[in-house]
Amino acid sequence: MENVVAVAMSGGVDSSLTASMLLEQGYKVFGITLRLWVSDADPEDVPLAVTDAKKMCDFLGIEHHVVDARDVFYENVVDYFVNEYAAGRTPNPCVFCNKNIKFDLLLKRALELGATHMVTGHYAQVRYNEATKLYEVHKGADPSKDQSYVLYTLNQDILSHLMFPLGAQKKTLTREMANDRDLPVANKPDSEDICFLPNHNYQGFIQKQLTEAPKSGNIVHENGEILGRHNGLFNYTIGQRKGLGVAYKYPLYVVRLDGEKNEVIVGPDESLFTNRMICKHYNFLSGTIPKELHAAGKIRYAANPSLCVARIFDDETMEVVFETPQRAITPGQSVVFYEGTQVLGGGVIETVC
Protein backbone atom coordinates (compact mmCIF):
# COMPACT_ATOMS: atom_id res chain seq x y z
CA MET A 1 0.00 0.00 0.00
CA GLU A 2 1.25 3.50 -0.85
CA ASN A 3 1.93 5.40 2.35
CA VAL A 4 1.76 9.14 1.66
CA VAL A 5 -1.16 10.80 -0.11
CA ALA A 6 -2.16 14.42 -0.65
CA VAL A 7 -5.87 15.17 -0.45
CA ALA A 8 -7.01 18.13 -2.54
CA MET A 9 -8.97 19.90 0.20
CA SER A 10 -11.75 22.35 -0.63
CA GLY A 11 -13.35 22.57 2.80
CA GLY A 12 -16.38 20.65 1.58
CA VAL A 13 -17.84 17.32 2.62
CA ASP A 14 -16.36 15.29 -0.27
CA SER A 15 -12.69 16.10 0.26
CA SER A 16 -13.08 16.09 4.06
CA LEU A 17 -14.59 12.61 4.09
CA THR A 18 -11.94 11.42 1.65
CA ALA A 19 -9.17 12.55 4.00
CA SER A 20 -10.89 10.94 6.99
CA MET A 21 -11.34 7.63 5.16
CA LEU A 22 -7.70 7.47 4.10
CA LEU A 23 -6.50 8.18 7.62
CA GLU A 24 -8.63 5.26 8.85
CA GLN A 25 -7.07 3.05 6.16
CA GLY A 26 -3.58 3.75 7.46
CA TYR A 27 -2.30 6.25 4.96
CA LYS A 28 -0.15 9.21 5.92
CA VAL A 29 -2.30 12.11 4.74
CA PHE A 30 -1.75 15.80 4.21
CA GLY A 31 -4.08 18.38 2.72
CA ILE A 32 -3.30 20.63 -0.20
CA THR A 33 -5.47 23.50 -1.41
CA LEU A 34 -5.38 25.80 -4.41
CA ARG A 35 -5.68 29.49 -3.73
CA LEU A 36 -7.48 30.69 -6.84
CA TRP A 37 -8.33 34.09 -8.25
CA VAL A 38 -11.89 35.07 -7.26
CA SER A 39 -13.95 37.89 -8.76
CA ASP A 40 -14.28 41.03 -6.59
CA ALA A 41 -12.13 39.54 -3.83
CA ASP A 42 -9.68 41.69 -1.87
CA PRO A 43 -6.19 40.37 -2.74
CA GLU A 44 -5.32 40.44 0.96
CA ASP A 45 -8.34 38.36 1.99
CA VAL A 46 -7.86 34.61 2.25
CA PRO A 47 -10.68 32.88 0.29
CA LEU A 48 -13.28 30.98 2.29
CA ALA A 49 -12.35 27.73 0.53
CA VAL A 50 -8.79 28.03 1.88
CA THR A 51 -9.83 28.86 5.44
CA ASP A 52 -12.45 26.09 5.49
CA ALA A 53 -9.89 23.59 4.18
CA LYS A 54 -7.43 24.64 6.89
CA LYS A 55 -10.10 24.19 9.57
CA MET A 56 -10.85 20.66 8.35
CA CYS A 57 -7.16 19.74 8.24
CA ASP A 58 -6.78 21.01 11.80
CA PHE A 59 -9.85 18.99 12.81
CA LEU A 60 -8.37 15.84 11.27
CA GLY A 61 -4.91 16.55 12.66
CA ILE A 62 -3.10 16.68 9.31
CA GLU A 63 -0.73 19.17 7.69
CA HIS A 64 -2.21 21.72 5.30
CA HIS A 65 -0.39 23.27 2.34
CA VAL A 66 -1.65 26.12 0.17
CA VAL A 67 -0.61 26.55 -3.47
CA ASP A 68 -0.99 30.14 -4.66
CA ALA A 69 -2.34 29.71 -8.18
CA ARG A 70 -4.05 33.08 -8.59
CA ASP A 71 -1.98 34.34 -11.50
CA VAL A 72 -1.75 31.09 -13.47
CA PHE A 73 -5.45 30.44 -12.85
CA TYR A 74 -6.41 33.85 -14.17
CA GLU A 75 -4.23 33.42 -17.27
CA ASN A 76 -5.28 29.86 -18.09
CA VAL A 77 -8.91 29.72 -16.96
CA VAL A 78 -10.47 33.14 -16.30
CA ASP A 79 -8.96 34.89 -19.30
CA TYR A 80 -9.87 31.94 -21.50
CA PHE A 81 -13.44 32.01 -20.14
CA VAL A 82 -13.84 35.73 -20.91
CA ASN A 83 -12.30 35.58 -24.38
CA GLU A 84 -14.34 32.54 -25.42
CA TYR A 85 -17.63 34.14 -24.40
CA ALA A 86 -16.68 37.42 -26.09
CA ALA A 87 -16.02 35.49 -29.31
CA GLY A 88 -19.45 33.83 -29.24
CA ARG A 89 -18.47 30.49 -27.74
CA THR A 90 -19.61 28.87 -24.48
CA PRO A 91 -16.60 27.46 -22.62
CA ASN A 92 -16.45 24.90 -19.84
CA PRO A 93 -13.87 26.36 -17.43
CA CYS A 94 -13.70 23.17 -15.31
CA VAL A 95 -12.18 21.25 -18.23
CA PHE A 96 -9.36 23.74 -18.63
CA CYS A 97 -8.85 24.08 -14.87
CA ASN A 98 -8.46 20.30 -14.56
CA LYS A 99 -6.00 20.25 -17.43
CA ASN A 100 -3.84 23.24 -16.52
CA ILE A 101 -4.27 23.73 -12.78
CA LYS A 102 -5.74 20.91 -10.68
CA PHE A 103 -4.10 17.92 -12.38
CA ASP A 104 -0.99 19.78 -13.43
CA LEU A 105 0.16 22.50 -11.05
CA LEU A 106 -1.51 21.06 -7.92
CA LEU A 107 -0.52 17.47 -8.66
CA LYS A 108 3.11 18.43 -9.29
CA ARG A 109 3.23 20.29 -5.99
CA ALA A 110 1.69 17.34 -4.16
CA LEU A 111 4.37 15.02 -5.54
CA GLU A 112 7.10 17.54 -4.63
CA LEU A 113 5.81 17.49 -1.05
CA GLY A 114 6.34 13.74 -0.90
CA ALA A 115 3.00 12.25 -1.91
CA THR A 116 2.83 9.25 -4.21
CA HIS A 117 -0.79 10.05 -5.10
CA MET A 118 -3.12 13.01 -5.09
CA VAL A 119 -6.61 12.16 -3.92
CA THR A 120 -9.75 14.14 -4.69
CA GLY A 121 -13.44 13.90 -3.91
CA HIS A 122 -14.40 13.52 -7.58
CA TYR A 123 -17.35 11.26 -8.35
CA ALA A 124 -15.52 9.25 -10.98
CA GLN A 125 -13.39 6.09 -10.87
CA VAL A 126 -9.78 5.39 -11.80
CA ARG A 127 -9.09 1.74 -12.58
CA TYR A 128 -5.98 -0.11 -13.70
CA ASN A 129 -6.60 -2.64 -16.46
CA GLU A 130 -4.24 -5.59 -16.00
CA ALA A 131 -4.90 -6.86 -19.52
CA THR A 132 -4.00 -3.61 -21.31
CA LYS A 133 -1.62 -2.27 -18.63
CA LEU A 134 -3.44 1.04 -18.85
CA TYR A 135 -5.23 3.27 -16.38
CA GLU A 136 -8.87 4.04 -17.15
CA VAL A 137 -11.41 6.63 -16.04
CA HIS A 138 -14.97 5.39 -15.49
CA LYS A 139 -18.20 7.11 -14.59
CA GLY A 140 -19.04 7.62 -10.95
CA ALA A 141 -21.60 5.25 -9.43
CA ASP A 142 -23.95 8.17 -8.69
CA PRO A 143 -25.38 9.33 -12.05
CA SER A 144 -26.51 12.63 -10.56
CA LYS A 145 -22.98 13.48 -9.43
CA ASP A 146 -20.83 11.80 -12.10
CA GLN A 147 -17.85 14.05 -12.97
CA SER A 148 -16.14 11.86 -15.55
CA TYR A 149 -17.09 14.28 -18.36
CA VAL A 150 -14.57 16.90 -17.21
CA LEU A 151 -11.69 14.41 -16.89
CA TYR A 152 -11.11 13.54 -20.56
CA THR A 153 -7.92 15.66 -20.74
CA LEU A 154 -5.98 13.35 -18.39
CA ASN A 155 -3.15 11.06 -19.49
CA GLN A 156 -1.53 7.85 -18.26
CA ASP A 157 1.17 9.53 -16.18
CA ILE A 158 -1.37 11.72 -14.36
CA LEU A 159 -3.78 8.82 -13.83
CA SER A 160 -1.04 6.73 -12.23
CA HIS A 161 -0.93 9.31 -9.41
CA LEU A 162 -4.67 9.80 -8.84
CA MET A 163 -7.21 8.24 -6.50
CA PHE A 164 -10.96 8.99 -6.37
CA PRO A 165 -12.23 7.07 -3.32
CA LEU A 166 -15.81 8.38 -3.54
CA GLY A 167 -16.38 7.38 -7.15
CA ALA A 168 -17.93 4.02 -6.29
CA GLN A 169 -20.60 5.44 -3.96
CA LYS A 170 -23.56 7.81 -3.99
CA LYS A 171 -23.49 11.30 -2.53
CA THR A 172 -26.18 10.37 0.02
CA LEU A 173 -23.79 7.76 1.45
CA THR A 174 -21.01 10.35 1.58
CA ARG A 175 -23.13 12.58 3.82
CA GLU A 176 -24.13 9.62 6.00
CA MET A 177 -20.49 8.62 6.43
CA ALA A 178 -19.50 12.22 7.22
CA ASN A 179 -22.24 12.42 9.86
CA ASP A 180 -21.14 9.10 11.35
CA ARG A 181 -17.64 10.58 11.75
CA ASP A 182 -18.99 13.85 13.19
CA LEU A 183 -17.30 15.89 10.47
CA PRO A 184 -18.28 19.57 10.90
CA VAL A 185 -18.98 19.87 7.15
CA ALA A 186 -21.28 16.84 6.95
CA ASN A 187 -24.26 18.96 5.97
CA LYS A 188 -22.45 21.76 4.19
CA PRO A 189 -24.27 22.53 0.90
CA ASP A 190 -22.63 21.61 -2.39
CA SER A 191 -21.17 24.47 -4.39
CA GLU A 192 -23.21 24.98 -7.55
CA ASP A 193 -21.45 28.09 -8.89
CA ILE A 194 -18.36 28.54 -11.04
CA CYS A 195 -15.65 28.81 -8.37
CA PHE A 196 -14.40 32.26 -9.43
CA LEU A 197 -17.95 33.60 -9.86
CA PRO A 198 -19.70 33.27 -6.49
CA ASN A 199 -22.80 35.16 -7.68
CA HIS A 200 -22.97 33.30 -11.02
CA ASN A 201 -23.50 36.59 -12.90
CA TYR A 202 -21.21 35.72 -15.77
CA GLN A 203 -22.56 38.40 -18.13
CA GLY A 204 -21.81 41.21 -15.69
CA PHE A 205 -18.42 39.65 -14.91
CA ILE A 206 -17.42 39.39 -18.57
CA GLN A 207 -18.51 42.94 -19.28
CA LYS A 208 -16.38 44.14 -16.38
CA GLN A 209 -13.36 42.14 -17.53
CA LEU A 210 -13.45 43.25 -21.16
CA THR A 211 -10.99 46.02 -21.99
CA GLU A 212 -13.41 47.45 -24.55
CA ALA A 213 -17.14 48.10 -24.36
CA PRO A 214 -19.21 45.20 -25.76
CA LYS A 215 -19.99 45.59 -29.43
CA SER A 216 -23.64 45.75 -30.41
CA GLY A 217 -24.69 43.89 -33.54
CA ASN A 218 -27.63 42.49 -35.43
CA ILE A 219 -29.98 39.71 -34.41
CA VAL A 220 -30.60 37.97 -37.73
CA HIS A 221 -33.09 35.29 -38.71
CA GLU A 222 -31.38 32.42 -40.49
CA ASN A 223 -33.31 33.48 -43.62
CA GLY A 224 -31.36 36.76 -43.58
CA GLU A 225 -34.03 38.99 -42.08
CA ILE A 226 -32.69 41.49 -39.52
CA LEU A 227 -34.96 41.39 -36.48
CA GLY A 228 -33.21 43.55 -33.91
CA ARG A 229 -29.98 44.36 -32.11
CA HIS A 230 -27.95 42.58 -29.45
CA ASN A 231 -25.69 44.08 -26.79
CA GLY A 232 -22.78 41.65 -26.92
CA LEU A 233 -22.47 38.03 -28.03
CA PHE A 234 -21.58 36.89 -24.50
CA ASN A 235 -25.15 37.56 -23.42
CA TYR A 236 -26.45 34.70 -25.58
CA THR A 237 -26.06 30.93 -25.73
CA ILE A 238 -27.03 28.33 -28.31
CA GLY A 239 -30.59 27.12 -27.70
CA GLN A 240 -31.62 30.26 -25.80
CA ARG A 241 -35.23 31.34 -26.27
CA LYS A 242 -36.01 33.84 -23.53
CA GLY A 243 -34.63 37.35 -23.44
CA LEU A 244 -34.01 37.78 -27.16
CA GLY A 245 -36.07 40.95 -27.33
CA VAL A 246 -37.49 40.22 -30.78
CA ALA A 247 -40.98 39.22 -31.87
CA TYR A 248 -41.81 36.76 -34.64
CA LYS A 249 -44.68 34.62 -35.88
CA TYR A 250 -43.26 31.52 -34.16
CA PRO A 251 -40.86 30.94 -31.23
CA LEU A 252 -37.24 31.75 -32.03
CA TYR A 253 -34.08 30.27 -30.58
CA VAL A 254 -30.42 31.19 -30.84
CA VAL A 255 -29.08 28.73 -33.41
CA ARG A 256 -25.62 30.24 -33.99
CA LEU A 257 -23.33 33.03 -32.78
CA ASP A 258 -21.22 34.51 -35.58
CA GLY A 259 -18.12 36.04 -34.01
CA GLU A 260 -16.73 37.33 -37.31
CA LYS A 261 -19.89 39.22 -38.26
CA ASN A 262 -20.85 39.90 -34.63
CA GLU A 263 -24.33 38.51 -35.25
CA VAL A 264 -26.80 36.45 -33.24
CA ILE A 265 -28.48 34.03 -35.65
CA VAL A 266 -31.98 32.88 -34.66
CA GLY A 267 -34.42 30.36 -36.08
CA PRO A 268 -37.02 27.71 -35.21
CA ASP A 269 -36.34 24.86 -32.80
CA GLU A 270 -35.75 22.38 -35.61
CA SER A 271 -32.76 24.44 -36.77
CA LEU A 272 -30.97 23.55 -33.53
CA PHE A 273 -30.59 19.90 -34.59
CA THR A 274 -27.46 18.78 -36.41
CA ASN A 275 -25.15 15.79 -36.28
CA ARG A 276 -21.68 16.95 -37.41
CA MET A 277 -19.02 19.08 -35.75
CA ILE A 278 -15.33 19.91 -35.98
CA CYS A 279 -13.31 19.76 -32.76
CA LYS A 280 -9.92 20.97 -31.56
CA HIS A 281 -7.70 20.21 -28.54
CA TYR A 282 -8.61 16.53 -28.56
CA ASN A 283 -7.15 13.99 -26.15
CA PHE A 284 -7.39 10.23 -25.65
CA LEU A 285 -6.63 8.82 -22.21
CA SER A 286 -4.85 5.71 -23.51
CA GLY A 287 -2.24 7.85 -25.21
CA THR A 288 -3.04 6.26 -28.57
CA ILE A 289 -4.84 8.41 -31.11
CA PRO A 290 -7.28 6.35 -33.21
CA LYS A 291 -7.82 7.18 -36.86
CA GLU A 292 -11.49 6.38 -36.39
CA LEU A 293 -13.43 5.81 -33.19
CA HIS A 294 -16.96 4.45 -32.78
CA ALA A 295 -18.31 5.39 -29.36
CA ALA A 296 -21.09 7.07 -27.41
CA GLY A 297 -20.57 10.82 -27.24
CA LYS A 298 -21.82 13.51 -24.86
CA ILE A 299 -21.95 17.07 -26.21
CA ARG A 300 -22.29 18.68 -22.78
CA TYR A 301 -22.07 17.73 -19.11
CA ALA A 302 -25.78 16.97 -18.69
CA ALA A 303 -26.38 15.40 -22.11
CA ASN A 304 -27.25 11.75 -22.68
CA PRO A 305 -24.58 9.79 -24.61
CA SER A 306 -25.44 9.08 -28.22
CA LEU A 307 -23.67 6.92 -30.82
CA CYS A 308 -21.13 8.74 -32.97
CA VAL A 309 -18.01 8.34 -35.07
CA ALA A 310 -14.88 10.44 -34.52
CA ARG A 311 -12.30 10.79 -37.29
CA ILE A 312 -8.91 12.40 -36.81
CA PHE A 313 -7.96 14.81 -39.60
CA ASP A 314 -4.57 15.99 -38.28
CA ASP A 315 -2.70 16.82 -35.07
CA GLU A 316 -5.21 19.54 -34.22
CA THR A 317 -8.52 18.66 -35.85
CA MET A 318 -11.14 15.97 -35.33
CA GLU A 319 -14.51 15.45 -37.02
CA VAL A 320 -17.40 13.96 -35.02
CA VAL A 321 -20.58 12.71 -36.66
CA PHE A 322 -23.55 11.51 -34.60
CA GLU A 323 -25.97 8.86 -35.87
CA THR A 324 -28.88 10.91 -34.52
CA PRO A 325 -28.97 14.72 -34.79
CA GLN A 326 -28.19 16.42 -31.48
CA ARG A 327 -29.94 19.54 -30.18
CA ALA A 328 -27.99 22.74 -29.58
CA ILE A 329 -24.43 21.55 -30.17
CA THR A 330 -22.44 24.45 -28.74
CA PRO A 331 -18.95 25.62 -29.80
CA GLY A 332 -16.71 25.95 -26.75
CA GLN A 333 -18.26 22.97 -24.97
CA SER A 334 -16.61 19.53 -25.10
CA VAL A 335 -17.67 16.32 -26.75
CA VAL A 336 -16.59 13.36 -24.60
CA PHE A 337 -16.48 9.73 -25.78
CA TYR A 338 -17.54 6.73 -23.73
CA GLU A 339 -17.49 2.97 -24.13
CA GLY A 340 -19.94 1.82 -21.51
CA THR A 341 -18.81 3.55 -18.33
CA GLN A 342 -15.27 4.18 -19.57
CA VAL A 343 -14.10 7.62 -20.74
CA LEU A 344 -12.08 7.22 -23.94
CA GLY A 345 -11.30 10.85 -24.70
CA GLY A 346 -12.80 14.01 -26.09
CA GLY A 347 -12.24 17.41 -27.62
CA VAL A 348 -13.47 21.00 -27.66
CA ILE A 349 -16.21 21.74 -30.18
CA GLU A 350 -14.95 24.36 -32.63
CA THR A 351 -17.63 24.60 -35.29
CA VAL A 352 -20.99 22.98 -36.02
CA CYS A 353 -21.61 21.79 -39.57
List the binding residues. 8-15, 34, 121
List binding-site positions for ATP: 8-15, 34, 121
- Catalytic option among 57, 97, 279, 308: 97
Nearest to 94 by CA among 346, 264, 288: 346
Nearest to 317 by CA among 342, 264, 271, 353: 353
- Catalytic option among 57, 94, 195, 279: 195
**348 contacts 279 by C-beta, under 8 angstroms:** yes
Based on the residue annotation, tell me whether 195 is a catalytic residue of this protein: yes
Based on the residue annotation, tell me whether 353 is a catalytic residue of this protein: no
**SS3 per-residue string spanning 23-46:** HHCCCEEEEEEEECCCCCCCCCCC
Helix or strand (DSSP H, E) at 273: strand 273-284
**13 contacts 186 by C-beta, under 8 angstroms:** yes
Residues 6+ apart with CB under 8 A from 210: 82, 86
Residues 6+ apart with CB under 8 A from 204: none
**254 contacts 265 by C-beta, under 8 angstroms:** yes
CA dist., res. 113 & res. 16, Å (int): 20
Which residues form the catalytic set?
97, 195
